[in-house]
Amino acid sequence: MPPEVEDAITTMATVNSEFYLWMSIGLMMLIHAGFLAYEMGASRSKNVLATAMKNLLALATIIASFYFVGWFLYNAMPSGFIEFSDAAKAALPWSDNMGPNVQDSVTGINWGAFALFAATTGSIMSGAVLERIRTSGFLILTVLVGSVLWIIGAAWGWHGAGWMLTQLGFHDVGAAGCVHMIAGFATLGVLINLGPRIGRFLPDGTPVTIRPHNLPLTMLGLMLIFTGFFGFLMGCVLYGAGGYSTIYASPTTLSAFAFSTLMGLGGGIIGAYLTSRGEPFWTISGGLCGVIGVAAGMDLYHPALAFVIALGAGAIAPYIGRLLEKFKIDDVVGAVSVHGGIGLYSLLMSGIFLHGYPNTGGNPSISFWGQAVGALVFVALGFIPAYLVSLGLKKAKLLRIPKEVEEQGLDLTEVPATPYPEGVPVTVMRTNGHVLVTAGEEVK
């Protein structure tokens, strides 16, 4: 082959690879449009704009902090500890690679894809803590999760040289553990210290359902998240001259990901519909459960198996939500159930159904033991730091808004605008014969 033809092919492969990641970034932005709509709909009308502003600030602060901290941690910590390797030095914010450099056309879009992964972890926590967290405390916690905790987990269990892969044969190709599970268990740690919304539980512990003020908007938000998930999963696949490979450099195809993603979506919705008895919020959340439920092994599952695993994921999520209510955990959007609980389920199911499957590069084979140990590492990595930091914020009175502000609504105190100037939608809460009607303040 003539040299000029080889050069042209190499150039085209590079362009295609860069454009592939560029498009994944664009699609992942739909996840954040979805979270914005999802959480605005899930909040009460008196907190709609404050919820939206919190989402925008989370996206902005995580992108910035991930540039200065997160990308370095991913490249410096695959062994378990910080090492100043060449890759780590190139990821420092003052490196030539971390700016406009015609000799390096790929670092920025690699960083961009990971920055959107990072922002997803912050958005997972954002919905759970709605209507009672201080913006300042929330931003501290979202930077902790989005630019420190999850990316350390990714360096350990998602990086091609991560110690969990090289020592345990760990497999989490769709980031069920390092993104969803770490964010979910970090959220649990925060919720324990934050406490439930006023009126969420009666004095005897009976849960009160606080209805979303706009359930259709919440459902539309989840549909946008489903769409953005295809960009998320594009970022879990590497594309180069040799074709497609997983984040672990093992061969794969987009076809495998398409089968598992769509069968997971369908199975999760059906499973949640059956066990929630058709409750709309849990039914559509089941789609997210289904995709997360198959994410760890989605490159290797047969579509029929993916459907069955997703069916189970969707089916158990409402039960996890009810279990949390028994401990007076007020998770507005079910983030702990959907992301933490189903992320754990995903890792364990991959350990069962992929046990003995060989890894590439001489790494240990996939095993249930390796997946279970990896899951425990991610539980601790998410929960412990988030619990301790939120406890410190609580003691410093930086975690929760004052009672009077919560009762009146955050929009009145934090946002110089009105979401519904022509009328305030009414939210109804029901519990054991009691009806609470809320617009700005709850009255029996």
Domains, the chain, in order of start with CATH, read 3-252+366-404 (1.10.3430)
pLDDT value for 301: 98
Q: How many CA atoms lie within 13 A of 162 on its CB side?
A: 25
Per-block average pLDDT, block size 10, for the chain (444 residues)?
60 67 92 96 94 95 97 96 95 94 87 95 95 96 97 96 96 96 98 97 93 93 95 88 86 95 98 96 96 97 98 98 96 97 98 95 94 98 98 97 93 83 57 46 40
pLDDT value for 14: 59
Packing angle of the helix pair 215-234, 107-128 (nearest 10 deg): 150
pLDDT value for 418: 80
What is the DSSP secondary-structure string of 208-237?
Answer: -EE--S-HHHHHHHHHHHHHHHHHHHHTTE
3-state secondary structure of 239: strand
pLDDT value for 415: 84
> How far is residue 257 from each of residues 9, 84, 91, 104, 327, measured CA to CA in Å?
26, 34, 29, 29, 37
Rg (CA), the chain: 22
Name the token pair of 386. 């988030």
Name the token pair of 261. 């993603």
3-state secondary structure of 427: strand
pLDDT value for 339: 98
pLDDT value for 225: 96
Q: Tell me the backbone φ, ψ of residue 48, rounded to 5 degrees.
A: -65, -50
The Cα–Cα gap between 412 and 440 comes to 9
